[in-house]
Amino acid sequence: MVEYTYRFRLYPNKEQKHFLNIQFGHCRFVYNYFLALSKEEYEKQGIKWKYSRYQSMLPALKRDYPFLKQANSQSLQVSLQNLDTAYKNFFEGRAGFPKFKKKKSRQTVHIPQHFEIERVSKKRSLLKIPKLKTKIPIKMHRDIEGQIRSISITKTPDGRYYLNVLTRKEIQPLKPSNKTAGIDVGIKEFAIIYDGDKTYHIENPKYLQKAEKRLIKLQRQLSKKQKGSKNYEKARQKVARLSSKIVNQRKDFLHKVSTAITKQYDCFVVESLNIKGMIQNEKLSKQITDVSWYKFVRQLEYKARWYGRKIIKVDRFYPSSKTCSVCGYKNNQLTLQVRKWQCPICKTVHDRDENASKNLYKIGVAHLTSGRTGTVQTQACALQGNLQAQSQWDCGAGSVGGMGDNSQSTRHPVVKQETSQKLASLQSEQAPQFIEE
């Protein structure tokens, strides 16, 4: 049993939009009020954040501000719970200090109870929520499976409304494929996958880079408008729509690739990258942010948990690109600029990314066949030590060459998104749907 969220598009009318905007505003007010209060009390009196203490203040706040009675009381409580979660993430080092919510940013109102979703036709439903007399139309592109726990309504910066339905349902594990894959992620190419038979190259779609000129132009036009004017709001909507399109394209691509990998392989090995540190590089920060390695690995993790697969995260210091995948020789002088190198021991010519994926694949095979216990980090280091012991050589520069090796390699363009038929085939078949050149 897993928690699964369905997302549907809402089409509220003018009156319903006004009502939802009021709900967003009241929840935002409660969040910002208690955030400001907690900061002030800590700075002046040294009182630390405690959820139960501020929760007891909520009824008094509703008496002091009567307009809060227009909102659903449970939604205001959830807003305070969200602030408590933000503080916990800050205290435990998972996030920065909570920030005040802004009106023009993403807005959300949670409705844990007393809602109703009425199915009208195959692709249309109606949503009934507390304190709203009329029902909001929903575009239902798929059926809801499992037990519905709660809902939330979200307004994106580009002015669109979405319904998020949190459910709890059972997902059946996939049939074993008896295949393992080593996945090396990159910037020039999104990922290189080696499964013991072939090497698959997945191109980086670079959605931000392709839309960057258009985005810069719209942002320049926005900067020339007077804040608060109608023209400023129109220009802001254009920037928000384009930014939302980039995010949706990237999210769709990541879900398609991660789902295809999960269906194809029983086990996949990835590197544990220090993304936070890599973003500090001014020359590569934009490209690293656009490629979204963290989201990709996160999707692989929870999909592997859903479908009974296994994911192995190798320590970030494991030299997957520098180690020869044939004899185990380690080239410590290999720099990032060198994309191909020749092993001076076995004379094998390596593409650094393909070589890395092959070394990650070996770790996955060794992990599964040996039945080792302990962390993946120690197993990766042990495997590296065994390979170095076999070679009996220290590090060296190797040679740079443009020659190709004899291994099979398949290059995949970006997954096409134009037709729903291709998406359906991607989800139904057991292998990734990439086109061989």
pLDDT in tens, 116-140: 999 988 889 999 999 999 999 999 9
| φ, ψ for residue 427, nearest 5 deg | -80, -25
Contacts 24+ apart (CB under 8 A), 79-87: 79/27, 79/28, 79/30, 79/31, 79/110, 80/30, 80/31, 80/34, 80/51, 80/54, 80/55, 81/51, 82/31, 82/110, 83/31, 83/34, 83/35, 84/49, 84/51, 87/38, 87/49
Q: How far is CA 414 from CA 136, 189, 190, 208, 224, in A?
A: 37, 10, 9, 15, 37
> Could you tell me the pLDDT band of residue 18, with boundaries at 50, 70 and 90?
very high
Asked if residues 273 and 293 have their Cβ atoms less than 8 Å apart, the reply is yes
Which pLDDT does position 318 carry in this prediction? 85
Which pLDDT does position 432 carry in this prediction? 32
DSSP state of 318: -
For 280-298, what is each residue's pLDDT tens digit?
888 888 888 888 999 999 9
Instruction: Report d(CA 384, CA 373) in Å as an integer.
Output: 17
Percent of the chain scoring above 70 in pLDDT: 84
The token duo for 70 is: 């227009």
3-state helix, strand, coil in the chain (%, to 5): 45, 20, 35
Instruction: Report d(CA 364, CA 51) in Å as an integer.
Output: 44
For 226-279, what is each residue's pLDDT tens digit?
998 999 999 999 999 999 999 999 999 999 999 999 999 999 899 888 888 888
> Which H/E stretch holds residue 411?
strand 409-412
Which pLDDT does position 197 carry in this prediction? 86
Q: How far is CA 300 from CA 121, 178, 192, 255, 262, in A?
A: 34, 18, 15, 9, 7
Instruction: Report d(CA 10, CA 290) in Å as an integer.
Output: 28
For 379-415, what is each residue's pLDDT tens digit?
344 344 443 433 323 333 333 233 333 344 444 444 3
* Residue 65 clears pLDDT 70, i.e. is over it: yes
Percent of the chain scoring above 90 in pLDDT: 50
**N- to C-terminal Cα separation, the chain:** 41
Q: How far is CA 409 from CA 243, 355, 389, 437, in A?
A: 35, 12, 29, 10
* Residue 12 CB partners (closer than 8 Å, separation 6+): 20, 136, 137, 161
Buried b (16+ CB within 10 A) or exposed e, 265-295: bbbbbbbbbeeeeeeeeeeeeebbebbbbee
Candidates 97, 116, 107, 210; CA nearest to 156 is 107
Helix (H, G, I), strand (E, B) or coil at 345: coil
What are the residue numbers of the active site?
184, 271, 353
Look up residue 166 and give its amino acid. Answer: L
Instruction: Report d(CA 196, CA 267) in Å as an integer.
Output: 12
Place of tokens 């060459």: 401
Candidates 131, 166, 207; CA nearest to 8 is 166
Instruction: Report d(CA 92, CA 240) in Å as an integer.
Output: 32
| φ, ψ for residue 270, nearest 5 deg | -130, 160
